[in-house]
Structure 1
Amino acid sequence: MTQTFSIGELGRRTDTKVETIRYYERSGLLPAPPRSSGNYRVYSQDHLTHLSFIRRARELGFSIEQIRILLDLAKNTNQSCACVDSITRDHLEDIEHKIRDLQSLHHELSQLLAQCQKGKIDDCRILETLGPKLPLNHSS
């Protein structure tokens, strides 16, 4: 007998929120499961495997559209994996760009903190760097 799961059990086994599972179904990433006589979703081992693939790809930062393409490619086991390599290479380049941006941001914020003289707000170099002084808030 084939093992089946409720949406809650599928969520627990894959560490996925029920609403996220429903979203993946609506977006076509996860095949819609059959329904029980009581109209409950009945998930199979295939759904568990499919959702685990999606979750791992999301953990690695792949976009929903990239995952959609990867899932389609995974169905054609005899074709070249060049397209998978290309998607992964593009994703890696995006990550490397984000890392450079974050390193630059880290450097800039570190320099701002180093200039802090621990004085009053009126003399704060960090706020000064962010832009012109904000108008005073006068309550009536």
Structure 2
Amino acid sequence: MRIGDLASKASVNPKTIRYYESIGLLPEPERTHAGYRAYTERDTDRLVFIKTAQRLGLRLDEIREILSLRDQGQRPCDYVRETLRHQVTEINQRITELRTLRDELVSLDALADDLINTDVAHGCPLIEHAHRCEQ
């Protein structure tokens, strides 16, 4: 199949396929006599695997490692599990940061009417207040 067919089957842009080839996530495909890329179902499976891994939040370098292990005949499940656990930890940290930010914004909004009426020569009194509170 040609690149457009592969892109359609995997719901990606042909540029994405070319990019994945350039960084080694997809192997260089064989070429037809006319020079067109010729893909197989195996390429479709690999591309779907990459897109699924991305949807799970894995970075391209992590996906490359997983594919490398798989290509060497190893099951990458331990690596994937470790990576996903690390990702959960990062997400939990980000959730904590977002909750703190939300609380700060709600508090700032509650003060907004009083702060906006203050005389600040430059800038915004809301941001100036937030800056003073973080010091």
TM range (shorter): 0.7 to 0.9
16-25 or 109-118, larger mean C-alpha shift: 109-118
The question of 1:6 aligning with 2:5 is answered: no
Per-residue displacement from partner, 1:57-92 (whole Å, max 9, x unpaired)? 111111111111111233455657333321221122
Q: Indicate conservation of the 8 Å contact 2:66/2:76, yes or no.
A: no
The question of 1:42 aligning with 2:48 is answered: no
Per-residue displacement from partner, 1:70-121 (whole Å, max 9, x unpaired)? 1123345565733332122112212222222222222222222222218569
Q: Indicate conservation of the 8 Å contact 1:112/1:125, yes or no.
A: no
- Give me the CA root mean square deviation: 2.6
Relative to 1, partners in 2 of residues 1:12 and 1:80: Cα closer, same or farther, differing over 3 Å? closer
Aligned-pair CA distance for 1:55: 0.4
Per-residue displacement from partner, 1:41-65 (whole Å, max 9, x unpaired)? 1111001000000001111111111
Q: Which runs of 5+ in 2 are unaligned?
A: none
**TM-score, normalisation: structure 2:** 0.78
| Length, aligned pairs only | 128
Separation in 2, partners of 1:12, 1:122: 59
Q: Which runs of 5+ in 1 are unaligned?
A: 133-140
The question of 1:98 aligning with 2:94 is answered: yes
Secondary structure class of the residue paired with 1:95: helix
Secondary structure class of the residue paired with 1:29: coil
Percent identity for Structure 1 against Structure 2:
33
Secondary structure class of the residue paired with 1:116: helix
Tell me which amino acid in the other structure corresponds to 2:127.
Answer: L
Relative to 1, partners in 2 of residues 1:129 and 1:31: Cα closer, same or farther, differing over 3 Å? farther
**TM-score, normalisation: structure 1:** 0.76
Secondary structure class of the residue paired with 2:24: coil
Secondary structure class of the residue paired with 1:115: helix
